[in-house]
Structures are given as C-alpha cells and as structure tokens.
A and B are shown apart, each in its own frame.
Chain A
C-alpha cells in the first residue's frame, strides 16, 4: 500500500508570498494518478490539480503542480487571502484511493 507524506505540516506565510507544498509517496507512483485538493473549514475538499500538473476547471493559474516518481509539489504563487487553507495530495492505485495527512497554510 502506498503511503503519502506531506510536508511541512504547517506553512506560515504572508499574502503575496509563494507557497511550496511537498507530497512524497512511499514508492514510485504514476503521475497520472496524483491529485491535490484545497479544504477550508466547514467545507468539502475542492479539486485543484489532477494528473500531477493539470488544473481543474476554474482553478486560478497561480496554482501549479509538478513532480514525478515519489516527489510532487503544489506551488501557489502570490498567495491570496482566500488561499489560506489545508491542502491534501491524493493518489489512486487500483482500486484504492489514498490521501496524505495535509499541509495547513496559515497567515503569518
């Protein structure tokens, strides 16, 4: 079973700064099956990135995903106030879906 590890646990940044969030898999995975989500308090997760680097519909272009093998990164350029939230990576390895523990991006 693939285990996803996210770092850091919490990232404290100011609006306008760049956020770089890491997701590491316990073994090499197919990029096609790696996704990122944003979750705000009291809300369901929202799909941001699928296939490691493709933005979902309506996601601003300040969000970008990259990586391959075991290391993946979600980058948020020029943080906006609405970007402060928890971010999860997720992987699919048939027939199991696995989420990482999350990275909280909070206001410094």
Chain B
C-alpha cells in the first residue's frame, strides 16, 4: 500500500545537526513533489521544505532557510532533510508528505525531534 515511513529523529543539543529520512513505497515516488512538514507540541502544522519530483527545485520556509537542506534519491525512493544549527524552536514532530497539486494527500507517521541541552 501507499506508505511513507520517517526515521532519524531523536534528542539533539542546540547548535548540533541531524538528518531525517523518509522511505516511500506503493507509488511512483519519482512522479511526485515531496515535502517536510513539522508540528510543534500543541501547535498546528508548519510546512518546512519541498523538493520537486525530479529534484530540480527546492523551497524552504523562512524559519529554516539556510539551515535545512532537502534532498531526494529517486533510485531508492527516499526523501531526506539535513538540519544544521538546530534550535529549541525546531522541536517538533517531522512528517514527510506527498503533494498532489497544492495539497498533501499522503503523510508519514512522523518522527520526533527534540532540541534540548
């Protein structure tokens, strides 16, 4: 079935780095734009980053621009985000999500990132 599975979350100190991954299955991964969306505890979702179906274009929210780098490997059906200079305000559940048009139709179960000393 169509599935997205995130991994790589954990507890990290402020200023350190972390890389999250998302494994896709059950659909033609290389045909879809893919995104990272995060949700801080008790808050609404916040779009973080996007990469177009072929990796040619990447976009970021202002809050992570210059610190997060999104990438994809269509040969391995994987999406990644490298996060550097992490801050307490980056603490959230991070979801990978597939977009169809302008909406997110498939979401992973999420992986928790906690930035704390």
Contact = CB atoms under 8 A, between A and B. Distances in A.
A56 B102 CA distance: 13
Contacts, number: 60
Contacts of B47: 96-99
Smallest CB-CB A-B distances: 9 pairs: A92-B102, A44-B107, A97-B47, A95-B59, A35-B103, A50-B103, A33-B102, A99-B45, A102-B44
Given A95-B50, A97-B35, A56 B45 contact: no
A44 B61 contact: no
Interface of A: 32-33, 35, 37, 44-47, 50-51, 56-57, 88, 90-92, 95-102
Interface of B: 35, 37, 44-47, 50, 57, 59, 61, 95, 97, 100-105, 107-110
B65 to A, nearest CB: 11
B44 A88 contact: yes
Contacts of A50: 100-103, 105
Chain A CB count within 10 A is highest, among B103, B104, B107, for B103
A32 B104 CA distance: 14
Contacts of B46: 99
A35 B102 contact: yes
A100 B37 CA distance: 14
Given A57-B105, A92-B103, 19 more contacts: A33-B102, A35-B104, A44-B95, A44-B97, A44-B110, A45-B45, A45-B107, A46-B107, A47-B103, A47-B104, A47-B105, A50-B103, A88-B44, A88-B45, A90-B45, A90-B104, A97-B50, A97-B102, A102-B44
Given A95-B50, A95-B59, A96-B47, A44 B105 contact: no
B114 to A, nearest CB: 17
A46 B109 CA distance: 11
